[in-house]
């Protein structure tokens, strides 16, 4: 149980930073110095974790993972939006 709680805490910490990055991208409206495929990979990995954690009954990790994945998905959506805008101009 303590391992799940600690992992869930780290997932929430990651979620905080993912949301900070998403907010920064929304505010700046441009992508600089970021390797976008890494964000896509970790978003997919997070989605896998949303399947994996419940199979292990790790509910704290699962809840933290939800917030982390949502932050990563938000970042990916904004990155695609602003990248399209760059090529359209």
DSSP conformation letters of 23-51:
HHHHHH-S--S--HHHHHHHHHHHHHHHH
pLDDT score recorded for residue 89: 62
**Cβ atoms within 10 A of the Cβ of 64, count?**
24
Nearest to 72 by CA among 46, 54, 49, 51: 46
Say whether domain 2-88 belongs to CATH 1.20.1280: yes
Q: Average pLDDT for consecutive 10-residue bins of the chain (89 residues)?
A: 95 96 94 84 94 97 97 93 78
What is the structure's pLDDT at 65? 97
> Which of 7, 22, 15 lies closest to 66, judged by CA?
15
Q: What is the dihedral of CA 40, 45, 47, 52, to 10 degrees?
A: 180
Residue 3: the pLDDT is 95
């Amino acid at each position: 149980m303590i391992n799940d709680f600690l992992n869930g805490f780290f997932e929430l910490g990651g979620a905080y930073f993912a949301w900070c990055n998403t907010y920064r991208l929304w505010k700046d409206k441009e992508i600089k110095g970021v390797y976008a495929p890494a964000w896509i990979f970790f978003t997919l990995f997070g989605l896998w974790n949303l399947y994996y954690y419940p199979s292990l009954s790790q509910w704290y990790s699962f809840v933290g993972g939800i917030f982390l994945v949502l932050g990563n998905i938000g970042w990916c959506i904004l990155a695609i939006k602003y990248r399209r805008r760059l090529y359209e101009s």
